[in-house]
Chains A and B, each alone.
Chain A
Amino acid sequence: MNCETREEQGVTIASLSGDVDLQSSPEVRKILIECVDQGKSLVVDLSGVGYIDSSGVASLVESFQRSRKHGHGFVLVAVSEGALRVLKLARLDKVFTICDTLEEGLSSLNK
C-alpha cells in the first residue's frame, strides 16, 4: 500500500494505491485523519486500490464522518472496480460522494 498526499485548489488530495487491508488500514486511517484535521476538504483517489476490506472501508467511514463534523467536503474519486465492489456490498456507494475523475471531484467541492 502506498499513500501520497498533496494540495490543489485549497483541497487536500490523498491518492491510495495497492491493497488496503487489515495490515495497511491502520496507516491509511492515520493518514486520512491527519488530512481531515488539516481543516480542508478532502479528495481520496482510489484509482490504484486493487483491494479494500472492511477495515479499510471503516477508515474511509471514520474520516468521512470526521470531515462532515468539521463541515468540510469529502469525496472519493476514480474508485477502482475492486474497491467499488466492496463499497457496494456495504451499501456505502449511496453514502459517499463518488466521482469518476479527480477533476469532477474537485469541481463538486468548489460548487
Chain B
Amino acid sequence: MSANPITSAEDLSINQTTVDLNNHVYDQLELLSEMSRDFAASRDIEASLARAVQHITDHVNAEGGALFLLEDEGATLKCHGSVGMTDITGITLNSDQGIVGRCVQSDKAEIVRDVADDPNFHKGVDDETGYTTRSILCAPMRVKGERIGAIELINKRVGDGLFEESDLHLLEAMSASAALAIHNARMADALVEQEKLARELELAAEIQRSLLPDGNDGITEVRGINIPARTVSGDFFDYFQLDDKRIRFNLGDVSGKGMNAALLMAKTSSLYRCLGKTIDQPGKLLGRVNAEICETATRGMFVTMVGGIYDPRSGIVRMSNAGHEPPLFRTAEGEYTDFEAEMPPVGITTFLGDSDEYPELELRLNGGALYIFTDGVTEGYLEDGKEFGVEGVKGLLDDLSSVEPGSRLEQVVRKVNWGTDKLRDDLTMLVIDDAAAFKERSKSKSIDVVSSAAADLNSDEIMRITVPARADRLKLVRNWVFETARFCDCSEDTSHGMVIAVDEALQNIIRHAYKNSGIGDIDISIQRSDEKLIIVIRDYAETIDTETVRSRDVEDVRPGGLGVHFIQEVMDEAGFMPPPEGGGNVLRLVKQIQ
C-alpha cells in the first residue's frame, strides 16, 4: 500500500490541527478515486497523468509541477506530465540526475527550500526554459516497495515563493495516492492486453479444433484424440472416407510449440486433406506434401508424420512414415510389432533416397489394431512421476482390448493427462481398429480349413496325376477331369462344373502359390466315396494364409477375384486341409454325384 497509510477514524479527533489533516486525508482519497476514475474512463494513462499533476500542483499551490516515471528498467526518469512555466513532458533524465533523481534513489521525500543552496540542483532545465527555480518539493512514488517515479513541485505561489515542511507532507500523501492509481491503471492495462491475447489464442485454438475430425462422420474403424498442452497445438490427426469407402488417415507432430507450430500444423493438415483427394498412393501423397512444405516452410521447422489408407473391406493398411514415432500394431492375438521410419520428417529435404516419394508399407490388420501417436503420450508423466513409456502404453492397451476404440484412446491419454496442470507435450493418438470390419468380412464365405478327420479314409482313388504348374497344361487337366467325372457317372452338367472348379483352383495355385513362375508340381487325385466325388489338389509352394483366399461379392462388378466364388458355387464342399508336412497346401473339393 501507500507510504502514508490512511489511518483509522480514531486518528481524526476533533481539534483544529486535525481538521486540516482531515482535509488532507479527504484530498488524498479524493485524488486516488478521481485518478482511478479518470484512468478507467479514458483508458489513456498519459492524459490522466497530466491531469493528476495539474490537480496536485493546484492543491499544493505551486507554480509548476512535473511527474516522472522510472523507465528502461530504472535507468532513466521520463517526465509524463508537467504544469506551469514550460511544458517539459517527454524529457528524460538519468535516474540519478537532479533533485528528482536523488529523491527517487534515496526513496525519501525532500524539500529544497532554496535551490541556490543545493549542489544537486540541475540547472540544465532552467537554462533551457529560461525559468528561475527557487524552491523545490519532491516526493517519490512507490507501490509495494517498488519505486516507480517521483512528483516534483516548483516555487510556492504565495509568500516568499519557498515551500514549507507542511507542503512536503501534503505532497507525500498525494504522491502515494498517485502511485497507487498509476499502479492500478498499469495492472488494468496489462490485464486488458492479456485478455485480448487470450481471446485471440482461444480463437486460433477453435479454428484448430475445427481441422480435426469431429467423430460424427459415420466412420467407426478409425478414432483419434488430441489434447493440447497449451491453448494451441502443434499436433494433428485427420481421417476421412474416400468415395470407394477406403479411409485416408494421418497423424503428425510439428517441431516446436506455440503459434508458429500451430500455423504449420494447419498448413500441413490442410495440404494433406486437399491433395489426399486426388493423389491415391500414401507415399506419393506424403512426397507431394513434403515438397510443398520444403518450398515454403520456415527454415528449421519440420513435421514428423504418418499417413496412409485403410481398406475396411480387406483390412489392409498402406502407409508411409516421415520420421515419426514408430506406429504400434497390436494383432488380434495381442502380439505387438512396430514400424520404424525410414525417411526424414516432412519439411527437411526433397531428396528421399533416389525418389521424391516416401516408401510405403503394407500391413494386413486381420482384426488387429494399429496405433499411431505422438511422443507426448509415451513421454508423458504418470501420476506417480514415472514416464509412461511404450511398454506402459502396450500394457494398458492389453487391458483395454475389449473397450470400444474411441474410449480406449481416451483412457490411454487420461493416464498422462491425469489432472496435472502442466502437460509435458501435446497428446495425440489415432487408432485404426480392424476388429469389427474383420468380423464383418469373416461372414462372407472363406475357404475353411477342414480337419483331417473329415477327409474320407475309405474312398477309392480313381486316378492321380501330377502336372507342372503351367497355364498351358490347364486344357489337358480340364479334359482329364471331365472324362474322369463322366467315368464316375457324373452328369454332363456336374462334370462341367467340376472342370470349372479344378481349373480355377489350379489357376490360383499357378498365379498366387507359385507366383506365375511356371516351376513346381501340382498333384491332383480324384477319389470316389459312396455317392461323393472327392478331388484333392496339392501344391508344394509356400503354405498360404487361408484367410486370404476369399470369395468376392459378385454384385461388385470388377475384373478378377471370381475364381473362389466359382469353386464355391459349383462344389458342395471346398476346404483346405491342415498344411501337410514338408510344406505346400492341400485343397479338398467334394461334389455329390447325382
| A, B co-complexed | yes
Binding site for B on A (CB under 8 A): 19, 21-23, 51, 53-55, 57-59, 61-62, 65, 82, 85-86, 89-92, 95
Does B472 sit within 8 A of A, measured CB to CB? yes
What's the Cα separation between A91 and B560 when bound, in Å? 14
Q: Which of B24-32, B300-308, B382-390, B502-510 contacts A (4 or more CB under 8 A)?
A: B502-510
Does B121 sit within 8 A of A, measured CB to CB? no
Chain B nearest Cβ from A80, distance in angstroms: 12
Does B557 sit within 8 A of A, measured CB to CB? yes
Q: Would A53 and B503 count as touching, CB distance under 8 A?
A: yes
Most buried by A among B472, B500, B560, B562: B562
Q: Known interface pairs A22-B471, A23-B474, A86-B500. Does A59 touch B559 (Cβ–Cβ under 8 Å)?
A: yes
Contacts of B565 in A (CB 8 A): 89-90
Q: Which of A54, A59, A62, A85 contacts B507 (CB 8 A)?
A: A54
Q: Would B504 and A53 count as touching, CB distance under 8 A?
A: yes
What's the Cα separation between A92 and B503 when bound, in Å? 19
Does B123 sit within 8 A of A, measured CB to CB? no
Q: How large is the interface on B (under 10, 10 to 19, 20 to 34, 35 or more residues)?
A: 20 to 34
Q: Which of B496, B504, B557, B558 contacts A82 (CB 8 A)?
A: B496
Which residues of chain B from 61 to 87 have any CB-CB distance to chain A below 8 Å in the complex? none
Does B157 sit within 8 A of A, measured CB to CB? no
Tell me if A's interface is mostly helix, strand, loop or mixed.
helix
Q: Would B557 and A92 count as touching, CB distance under 8 A?
A: yes
For B474, give the chain A residue with the smallest CB separation.
A21
Q: Would B472 and A23 count as touching, CB distance under 8 A?
A: yes
For A88, give the chain B residue with the smallest CB separation.
B569
Q: Would B566 and A54 count as touching, CB distance under 8 A?
A: yes
Q: Would B560 and A90 count as touching, CB distance under 8 A?
A: no
Q: Would B475 and A58 count as touching, CB distance under 8 A?
A: no
Q: Would A61 and B500 count as touching, CB distance under 8 A?
A: no
Binding site for A on B (CB under 8 A): 471-472, 474-475, 478, 496, 499-500, 503-504, 507, 510-511, 554-555, 557-560, 562-563, 565-566, 569-570
Chain A nearest Cβ from B563, distance in angstroms: 4
4 closest A-B pairs (Cβ-Cβ)? A58-B559, A23-B471, A54-B562, A22-B471
Q: Would A22 and B500 count as touching, CB distance under 8 A?
A: no
Q: Known interface pairs A19-B475, A22-B474. Does A57 touch B562 (Cβ–Cβ under 8 Å)?
A: yes
Q: Would B474 and A89 count as touching, CB distance under 8 A?
A: no
Chain A nearest Cβ from B552, distance in angstroms: 10
Contacts of A89 in B (CB 8 A): 500, 565-566, 569-570
Q: Known interface pairs A89-B500, A90-B554. Does A58 touch B560 (Cβ–Cβ under 8 Å)?
A: yes
Q: Would B474 and A61 count as touching, CB distance under 8 A?
A: no
Contacts of A91 in B (CB 8 A): 554-555
What's the Cα separation between A95 and B556 when bound, in Å? 11
Additional A-B contacts beyond A21-B475, A23-B474 (15; CB < 8 A): A21-B471, A21-B478, A22-B507, A51-B475, A51-B478, A53-B474, A53-B500, A53-B507, A54-B504, A54-B560, A58-B560, A61-B557, A90-B554, A90-B565, A92-B557
For B562, give the chain A residue with the smallest CB separation.
A54
20 CB-based A-B contacts, threshold 8 Å: A22-B474, A22-B510, A22-B511, A23-B472, A51-B478, A53-B503, A53-B507, A54-B507, A54-B560, A54-B562, A55-B507, A57-B562, A58-B559, A65-B559, A86-B500, A89-B500, A89-B570, A90-B562, A90-B565, A91-B554
Contacts of A59 in B (CB 8 A): 559
Q: Which of A21, A62, A95 contacts B559 (CB 8 A)?
A: A62
Contacts of A22 in B (CB 8 A): 471, 474, 507, 510-511
Q: Would A86 and B566 count as touching, CB distance under 8 A?
A: yes
What's the Cα separation between A62 and B560 when bound, in Å? 9
What's the Cα separation between A58 and B504 when bound, in Å? 13
Q: Known interface pairs A58-B559, A59-B559, A61-B558. Does A85 touch B471 (Cβ–Cβ under 8 Å)?
A: no
For B470, give the chain A residue with the smallest CB separation.
A23
For B497, give the chain A residue with the smallest CB separation.
A85
Most buried by B among A22, A58, A62, A86: A22
What's the Cα separation between A69 and B474 when bound, in Å? 33
What's the Cα separation between A85 and B500 when bound, in Å? 10
Most buried by B among A23, A54, A58, A82: A54
What's the Cα separation between A21 and B502 when bound, in Å? 12
What's the Cα separation between A51 and B496 when bound, in Å? 10
What's the Cα separation between A53 and B474 when bound, in Å? 11
Contacts of B559 in A (CB 8 A): 58-59, 61-62, 65
What's the Cα separation between A90 and B567 when bound, in Å? 11
Contacts of A95 in B (CB 8 A): 557
Contacts of A85 in B (CB 8 A): 496, 500
Contacts of B569 in A (CB 8 A): 89
Contacts of A53 in B (CB 8 A): 474, 500, 503-504, 507, 563
What's the Cα separation between A55 and B558 when bound, in Å? 12
For A59, give the chain B residue with the smallest CB separation.
B559
Contacts of B504 in A (CB 8 A): 53-54
What's the Cα separation between A23 and B496 when bound, in Å? 19
Q: Known interface pairs A23-B474, A54-B507. Does A90 touch B566 (Cβ–Cβ under 8 Å)?
A: yes
